[in-house]
Amino acid sequence: MERKELAFSTNEADTARQRRAKKIVKKLRELFPDAKIVLKYSNTWELLVAVRLSAQCTDKKVNEVTEKLFEKYKALDDYVKADVKEFEKDIKPTGFYKAKAKSILEAARIVKEKYGGKVPDSMEELTALPGLGRKSAIIVLGNAYGKKEEGIAVDTHVMRLSQKLGLSQHKDPVKIERNLMGLVPKKDWFFLTYGLIEYGRHICPARKHKDCAEHPLTKIYPPAAGIWP
């Protein structure tokens, strides 16, 4: 009997979260109908590089660095032939530059030798490249290849707001993504990432602020007003 009551209670909670998620997506579409990636790039390889550089770095800083980087390294071969130490200096402002340089230059070699210079278009192949995890692969697949139902990219904004809005109790990005994928229809997966990112940047930043109770999504889920960060 207790197990049945527990199962019913869990289903009720899931249903409530699904309704809330639907309202959240609708409101985000009203607020940010054109939400999209802000990293600047001109081809798929440059997107991959920018995504790799964005790890633990702001998109603004990445765009500042890649503005000069993409002028200096115009083609994939330029990365293949690049001097590691020089490349480290070129990307140093993005942080963790040694690891990033190593993975980007190794990925360039693999893309040239194994894929004929074309960035692969599958989750399995992308996540096999050095330095690219599932989140990065989702971003590349969605933006470069139009594959917008591969998953939900859980960055710091998505992670924080998913917890704050009661959509997930987890801190692990993989588990948060799994929760969100179960609450939101596939057609909304790609948008949800960028909708939440824009909301986190422009309306509800991580730093504590006084007007959180008046925020659009807090009105959908009032308990969020007292949840920090």
- Architecture field, domain 44-145: Orthogonal Bundle (1.10)
Catalytic residue list contains 155: yes
Q: What is the mean pLDDT of residues 96-101?
A: 98
Which residue in the list 59, 90, 155, 188 is annotated as catalytic? 155
Q: What CA dihedral angle connects 115, 79, 122 and 124, to 10 degrees?
A: 100
Mean pLDDT of the chain: 93
Give this prediction's pTM. Answer: 0.90
**pLDDT by residue (tens digit) across 156-214?**
999 999 999 999 999 999 999 999 999 999 999 999 999 999 999 999 998 888 888 99
Parse the chain into domains and list their residue ranges.
17-36+152-226, 44-145
Which residue in the list 59, 90, 100, 135 is annotated as catalytic? 135
Q: How far is CA 208 from the centre of its chain?
A: 23
Catalytic residue list contains 210: no
Has residue 29 got a pLDDT over 80?
yes
Q: Does domain 17-36+152-226 have CATH number 1.10.1670.10?
A: yes
